[in-house]
Structure 1
Amino acid sequence: MLFAIIGFFAGIIGGMGMGGGTILIPALILLAGIDPRIAQSVNLLSSIPMTIIALFIHIKNKNVVLKLVIPIALFGVLGAVCGSFVANYISPQILKRVFGLFLLIVGSIEIKKGVSVPKNKNCPK
């Protein structure tokens, strides 16, 4: 049941475009005690169907610019291959710390953006 709940919330976050891995990976590591490399693998594999569905919806809504997608996807695949090889040589403790630091930095940036956004006078409160 725990995995179903984690998957549900990761799917919601992923569907909103924020990346379900930000929920899925820490939840699998902290709540289920899974090795970070396995958690990352589960995240990548589970994101395939969610990504395909989101892609079809975005294509239908004409939100995809292929001139941007193709180079990003090609270099993203190259980066994924390199990152997978590097992850095999790094200890799980270091991966946990690096991922935690990454989440802390991204979270801090998002909080800063949310706090420093000027209020629009035309928006209702």
Structure 2
Amino acid sequence: MLFAIIGFFAGIIGGMGMGGGTILIPALILFTGVDPKIAQSVNLISSIPMTIIALYIHIKNKNVVLKLVVPIALFGVLGAIVGSFVANDLSSDVLRKVFGLFLLLVGGYEIKKGICPPKNKD
């Protein structure tokens, strides 16, 4: 049941375009004790059907700009290849710390944006 709940909330976040792994990976590690490398693999595999459905809906609603997608996807694939090799060579402890630091930085940035919203250039 816990996996279903985690998957549901990861799907909501993923469908909104914010990356379901932001929820899925820490939840699997913290609440179920799954190894970080396994959590990352589960995230990648489970994101495929979630991404297909979300992409279909976003394309249907005309929220996709293909001029942006092509370079991001091409370089994203390159980054995924490099990242997979790097993750394979790192210990689970190091991966856990790197991902935690990443989440901390993103969270801090979002809090800063909420407190000091950017000024409009109008």
Letter in 2 for 1:15: G
Tell me if 1:30 matches 2:30.
yes
Match of 1:116 in 2: 116
Shift of 1:40: 0.4
> Aligned pair count?
119
Q: How does 1:1-125 map to 2 (within 5 A)?
A: 1-117=1-117
Identity %: 81
For structure 1, the 5+ residue unaligned runs are: 119-125
CA distance in 1, matches of 2:28, 2:83: 20
What TM-score does the superposition give when structure 2 sets the normalisation length? 0.93
Q: Cα offset for 1:66?
A: 1.0
Tell me the distance in 2 between the aligned counterparts of 1:12 and 1:55. Answer: 13
Q: What amino acid does structure 1 have at the position aligned with 2:24? A: L
List, as ranges, runs of 4+ consecutive aligned residues in structure 1 with deviation greater than 3 Å.
Answer: none
Given residue 114 of structure 1, which amino acid in structure 2 is its aligned partner? G
TM-score for the superposition, normalised by structure 1: 0.91
Q: What CA deviation, in whole Å up to 9, does each residue of 1:75-105 have, x standing for no partner?
A: 1111101100111110100000000000000
Cα RMSD over matched residues?
1.4
- Unpaired segments ≥5 residues, structure 2: none
Q: CA deviation at 1:117?
A: 2.1
Bigger helix fraction: 2
CA distance in 2, matches of 1:16, 1:70: 20
Q: Could you tell me how far apart the structure 2 residues matched to 1:15 and 1:51 are? A: 7
Give the Cα separation in 2 of the matches to 1:12 and 1:59: 17
Matching residue of 1:123: none
